[in-house]
Amino acid sequence: MKFKLTDRDRGSDARCGVIFTDHGEIETPIFMPVGTVGSVKGVYHRDLKDDINAEIILGNTYHLYLRPGLDTLRKAGGLHRFEAWDRPILTDSGGFQVFSLTQIRKITEEGCTFQSHIDGSRHTFTPENNVDTQRTIGADIMMALDECCPGDADEKYAAKSLKLTQNWLERFDKRFRETEPLYGYDQTYFPIIQGCVYPELRKRATEHALRYSDCGIAIGGLAVGEPVEKMYEMLEIVCPMIPDEKPRYLMGVGTPANILEGIARGVDMFDCVMPTRNGRNGMLFTWNGIMNMRNAKWEDDFSELDPEGTSFVDHTYTKAYLRHLFIAKEMFAGMIATEHNLAFYLDVVRQARIHIKGGDFASWKDEAVRKITGRL
RNA sequence: GUGCGAUUAGUUCAGUUGGUAGAGCACCAGAUUGUGGUUCUGGGUGUCGUGGGUUCGAGCCCCACAUCGCACC
């Protein structure tokens, strides 16, 4: 995998570039739709490509490891062939899910032991077997196994947590170099910068993670309970320390405004469940603000879903119709909302790229953020 | 026709010795950031079937009527 920086904004740290993978190119800044269990919920690949313009999607190691399991994925020839997606895939290591999903878990220097949320069976992720698992899944970009430190952790805990993440990273890297891709195309991995909201920890984490970064690097442990200003503050500390030629991936972020603010601070890649999960529950993001499609105010609004939207759903269905589908609990509601939201998120990063190349990103961003954070 | 039972929020129901009413779902809002097709938070929206009576006071006791259900002629 390679990254080429192509443009810089004049009034901010925003940049444009291209990531080259064996499954195609990715223009940055980019938003990556989340497809946890081997599907971006409710969307055909046809629409992901042609309507939404997704260039890369995510999979999740924790979920795929539990279901369908490594044997099936190996027999299928990897996740790309299994889910019939021929563009790039990035897999999260599953470390985050161990903390967010499982009730019973034990974290040690060796790794993390947890009980499946599906059947209660016990499993252990170590940096070593996590490399093997992500090799079996076959993502173009794998993520290092880390501990996602809560945003409200005290500095002592955050330092201890960071040390564990660093030790795991060293072991992950060693295993990565000892092993080969299984399916004939290249794989890389991104180390993850932790350090919670503490500047010194973040700096130390960045220096350490950079030693293990072949291509890109990730910023984790943000948007996990800390104030949003803290997140921006951490980006302002971390991003300038990273060499230009390395793409920066801000994990799990965020709202459209978070993404634009991240881009302004030098972030290149984003993923978030918000457009898909919140979409399935009636929340639509638009250039003019947020809509809760369940609200009674849309009951008789027969105007098109989003006049400024880029997706075909925006000009095919009405607000009143989508509200009806949500109230009736029709699965089609979630499909339409997901399609719209993902198309909007990809439009946000596309417009950002246009304005970075045009050199007026900073001022355009301020106005866009003001509009998209409103409410319709 | 007779007997018994029921009638309380949109709905299904609870409601103490008589002190002007609550719950689930629905509904109306808000939240959601490396996805458990969720989850969480807030909001009670009422002519207690109708009309009388007893009582300081009735969703509750008494009478009549209405409607529904069940049983028996």
- Over residues A152-203, the pLDDT tens digits come to 999 999 999 999 999 999 999 999 999 999 999 999 999 999 999 999 999 9
Note the pLDDT of residue A322. 97
pLDDT at A101 over 80: no
Q: What integer is the mean pLDDT of A321-343?
A: 96
Averaged confidence pLDDT in chain A? 96
Secondary structure of chain A in HEC code, one letter for each residue: CEEEEEEECCCCCCEEEEEEECCEEEEECEEECECCCCCCCCCCHHHHHHCCCCCCEEEEHHHHHHCCCHHHHHHHCCHHHHHCCCCCEEEECCHHHHHHCCCCEEECCCCEEEECCCCCCEEEECHHHHHHHHHHHCCCEEECCCCCCCCCCCHHHHHHHHHHHHHHHHHHHHHHHHCCCCCCCCCEEECEECCCCCHHHHHHHHHHHHCCCCCCEEECCCCCCCCHHHHHHHHHHHHHHCCCCCCEEECCCCCHHHHHHHHHCCCCEEECCHHHHHHHCCEEEECCEEEECCCHHHCCCCCECCCCCCCHHHHHCEHHHHHHHHHCCCHHHHHHHHHHHHHHHHHHHHHHHHHHHHCCHHHHHHHHHHHHCCEC
For helices A228-238 and A256-264, the axis angle rounded to 10 degrees is 30
Question: Which of chain A's residues 16-35 bind strand B, using a 7 Å CB cutoff?
Answer: 33-35
Structure-token match 């994925």, residue found: A73
For strand B, list residues 236-265 of chain A whose Cβ lies within 7 Å of it. Answer: 251-255, 258
**What's the pLDDT tens digit per position in A5-52?**
999 999 999 999 999 999 999 999 999 999 999 999 999 999 999 999
Q: Give the pLDDT of residue A210.
A: 98
Q: Give the pLDDT band of residue A235 (cuts 50, 70, 90).
A: very high
Nearest nt to A220, CA vs C1'? B34
State residue A97's pLDDT score: 87
Note the pLDDT of residue A95: 83
Sheet with A248-250, strands from edge to edge, namely A30-32, A269-271, A248-250, A217-219, A192-193
pLDDT value, residue A264: 98
A96 versus A79: the higher-pLDDT residue is A79
Q: At what angle do helices A361-372 and A331-358 cross, to 10 degrees?
A: 160
Are A105 and A115 contacting, i.e. CB atoms less than 8 angstroms apart? yes
- A217's CB contacts (< 8 A; 6+ apart) are A190, A191, A192, A193, A209, A210, A242, A246, A247, A248, A249
* Strand B contacted by A234 CB (< 7 A): no
Question: Which bases of chain B are under 7 A from a protein CB atom?
Answer: 27-39
Structural domain boundaries in chain A: 2-279
Superfamily of domain A2-279: Queuine tRNA-ribosyltransferase-like (3.20.20.105)
Over 90: is that where the pLDDT of A229 sits?
yes
Task: Determine the Cα–Cα distance for residues A183 and A308; give it in Å rounded to an integer.
Answer: 42
Q: Could you read off the pLDDT of A120-162 as tens digits, one per residue?
A: 899 999 999 999 999 999 999 999 999 999 899 999 999 999 9
- pTM of this structure: 0.95
Q: How far is residue A37's CA from residue A58's CA, in Å, rounded to a whole number?
A: 9
Query: A243 burial class (0-12, 13-18, 19+ CB within 10 angstroms)?
Result: exposed
pLDDT of residue A1: 94
Percent of chain A with pLDDT over 70: 99
Length in residues, chain A = 376
Higher pLDDT, A101 or A272: A272
Q: Is the CB of A97 under 7 A from strand B?
A: yes
Give A240's contacts (C-beta < 8 A, 6+ positions apart).
Answer: A13, A266
Give the pLDDT confidence score for residue A185 in this predicted structure.
98
CA of A231: nearest nucleotide by C1' is B33
Judged against a pLDDT cut of 80, whether residue A204 lies above it is answered with yes
User: Residue A159 CA to nucleotide B29 C1', Å?
Assistant: 41
Q: Give catalytic residue positions of A.
A: 92, 271
Residue A114, judged by CB atoms within 10 A of its CB (0-12, 13-18, 19+), counts as buried
Cα–Cα distance, A159 to A139 (Å, whole number): 30
Position with higher pLDDT, A281 vs A100 = A281
The reply to whether A324 Cβ lies less than 7 angstroms from strand B is no
Which residue, chain included where needed, has tokens 């895939």? Answer: A89
- pLDDT score at A99: 74
List, in sequence order, every residue forming a beta bridge with A286; answer none if it has no partner: A289
Residue A9 CA, chain-centre distance (Å), reads: 23
Question: CA–C1' distance A189–B17 (Å)?
Answer: 75
% chain A with pLDDT above 90: 93
